[in-house]
Structure 1
Amino acid sequence: MLRFITRRTFGAVVTLVIIAAVTFFLFFAVPADPARLACGKVCPPELLEQARHNLGLDQPLFAQFVSWLSGIFVGRDYEGLGHCSAPCLGYSFVNKAPVLGTILDRLPLTISLTIGAAVIFFIFGVATGIIAALRQGKALDKIASVSSLIGASVQIYFVGTLALYFLVYQNHILRQPKYVPFTENPLSWAAGLLLPWIVLALIFTANYTRMTRSTMVEQLGEDYVRTARAKGMSARSVVMRFALRGTLTPIVTILGIDLGALIGGAIITETTFGLQGVGQLSIRAVTSSDLPMLMATVLVAAGAIVVFNIIVDIMYAFIDPRVRLS
């Protein structure tokens, strides 16, 4: 297990370095004037020259990349602006502050939105898919299939707008979405994010229902499941001990990808409900041409996906007995 984790961690570091190199090339080598993008649309000439110097644009491209990459691990001094301590993902000339601090301020909201919605859509999606598979061809299976198809077809901004109108503004059933830190008031934290959780979970539940149903139907036809039934095991034991464990392997794989993507920023959901998370931060970075902030959000999103994929690989050994980590 330790050898596997070490190998996967090393692979993750290599992957992140490659992503960092591609990101750097796209944002620094392709633009005609990276300093202008980093400094923003409204940038005084003196600040523009300072940005060029701090970004090392007077050096060869490879030296610029090494300097930028090393700054992530050891920090970096921005002359006239201050020191950016490690891990330094860059300095925002628009906000006049290290980008990591801004991301860390927004990250708790995005994590809260992701984890809350994930708990809902994973539990309901898997449970509904299992029930539909066990009732294959019956009315409940058809209802679940049609519902999941409709849920997968609608968009978050459409459902979210309707939910805001009917549940918040018209009937006052739920609170206006608002983020309150969990450490301040857990109840207000949950109440303020309940509606975004429900809307986000509605879309993802449909996908997990369809995937769980199809995988469960396939698992119920496997030889080892039929053998367990032939030995006289109860239907519940067969489903929970054998079919479900085989079903969860691809489900957990997709869950890891979805969690990583949502941590990187649930842009549409945050925009629909006016939540200021990492997704909104990335949009603001694009509209204000805040190059360092945009690069940092890309790296954070990539890092989240890589980390969750490692966690998923480790979970395989505990979910499916056929999988062994070596």
Structure 2
Amino acid sequence: MAGFLIRRLLGAVLLLVITSIVTFAIFFVVPRLAGQTVDQLAAQYVGKDPSQAEIEITKAKLGLDQPLYIQYGQFVKGVVVGREFSFGPDKEFCPPPCFGYSFKTQRPVWPDLVDRVGVTASLAFGASILWLVAGVAIGVLSALRKGTLFDRSAMVTALAGVSLPIFFTGLLSLVLFRPTGVNYVPITEDPLAWADNLLLPWITLAFLYAALYARLVRAGMLETMGEDYIRTARAKGLPERTVVTRHALRATLTPILTIFGLDIGLLLGGAVLTESTYSLPGVGRYAIDAINNNDLPQVLGVTMLAAFFVVIANLVVDLLYAVADPRVRV
């Protein structure tokens, strides 16, 4: 188990390094390959209608006139240990993980992301509990009652849930159940108000994912219930409840675990549509505002944060796999 854990940790670190290289290349190398000059690249970091003096200051501050390997080294240094930025004659230290300063607010990007991660995490984890419980339960019951009215109704509802976009179901739910809108309240201030304001976003987001999970669990259960070891368990006289929960369901949930981990990782990186629909001040809405404002440091920070969550989610799934199925430790 120790060797398996070390391999997975080293793999996660390597993946984070590769992610940092790709992210750096997207923001700093690809524009040059597309024909942009250093001045044009620096102009994007200044804002609209920049003067030549502002462009020169930005080039010096960000080191855009230096070789790419030095720029990447400064980028990694900022993320790991922080870096200094020059603002005219003054220098300011940006603590790690440093993704730079926002063009619009002139604030470090990382504290803004930290302020919004709690909102996104509240949305993601609350909705995930609902969709996991509902999706697995409905999928199992549909498989055990294949061809019945419940099965057909559940699958039609699941098809609707997968097909309808979040912004449609979200806006419809606001019109029907909360025309005054959602006003997010931190859980530390008022837990009841926090849950009350997130209940509708939880249900809307869970409806989409529960529908997908129900279809996947149903298909997995139908395949598993026809396996030889299931017939053997029944032939030995095991109760049907034991056959379903301890044998069939355990095998079915193994691939669901992978999907669940990736979904959580992606949502923690920003539930863009849900947060925009309900005006939740999370990472997803922060990313939309950053794109609209052409605030590249904010976009860079969101990209790295989302990649980090996906990598960590993959690592957790691998470790849970080893617990659920010891064969993967080899």
TM range (shorter): over 0.9
| Structure 2: distance between partners of 1:39 and 1:4 | 47
Q: Which TM-score applies when normalising by structure 1?
A: 0.93
For 1:184, what is the secondary structure of its paired residue? coil
Partner of 2:66: 59
Partner of 2:126: 116
| Structure 1: distance between partners of 2:47 and 2:234 | 66
| Structure 2: distance between partners of 1:249 and 1:223 | 18
Partner of 1:307: 312
Deviation at 1:319, TM superposition (A): 3.0
Q: Amino acid of the residue matched to residue 149 of structure 1? A: L
For 1:92, what is the secondary structure of its paired residue? coil
Identity %: 45
Deviation at 1:43, TM superposition (A): 5.0
Deviation at 1:46, TM superposition (A): 4.8
- Alignment of 1:39 with 2:46, yes or no, is yes
Unaligned runs of 5+ in 1: 170-174
For 2:238, what is the secondary structure of its paired residue? coil
Partner of 2:28: 28
Partner of 2:224: 219
| Structure 2: distance between partners of 1:5 and 1:54 | 41
For 2:329, what is the secondary structure of its paired residue? coil
Deviation at 1:187, TM superposition (A): 1.1
Deviation at 1:228, TM superposition (A): 1.1
Aligned-residue Cα RMSD (Å) equals: 1.6
Partner of 1:247: 252
Q: Amino acid of the residue matched to residue 196 of structure 2? A: A
Q: Amino acid of the residue matched to residue 139 of structure 1? A: L
Q: Deviations over 1:196-242 (max 9, x none)?
A: 11111111111000000001111111222221111100000111111
CA contact (8 A) 1:39 1:290 kept: no
Range with bigger deviation, 178-187 or 201-210: 178-187
Q: Amino acid of the residue matched to residue 44 of structure 2? A: L
Q: Give runs of aligned pairs for residues 144-223 of structure 1, distance below 5 A.
A: 144-169=154-179, 176-223=181-228
| Structure 2: distance between partners of 1:135 and 1:143 | 11
Deviation at 1:91, TM superposition (A): 2.4
Q: Amino acid of the residue matched to residue 80 of structure 2? A: F
Q: Amino acid of the residue matched to residue 177 of structure 1? A: V
Partner of 2:327: 323
Q: Which TM-score applies when normalising by structure 2?
A: 0.92
CA contact (8 A) 1:264 1:297 kept: yes
Partner of 2:115: 105
Q: Amino acid of the residue matched to residue 74 of structure 2? A: S
| Structure 2: distance between partners of 1:56 and 1:121 | 47
Identify the match of residue 93 of structure 2 among 69, 83, 95. 83
| Structure 2: distance between partners of 1:38 and 1:323 | 50
How many residues end up aligned between the 2 structures? 320
Partner of 1:10: 10
Deviation at 1:14, TM superposition (A): 1.2
Deviation at 1:147, TM superposition (A): 1.0
Unaligned runs of 5+ in 2: none
Q: Amino acid of the residue matched to residue 230 of structure 1? A: A
Q: Deviations over 1:42-74 (max 9, x none)?
A: 656554433211211111111111111122111
For 1:30, what is the secondary structure of its paired residue? helix
Relative distance call for 1:46 and 1:188 in structure 2 (3 A) is: farther
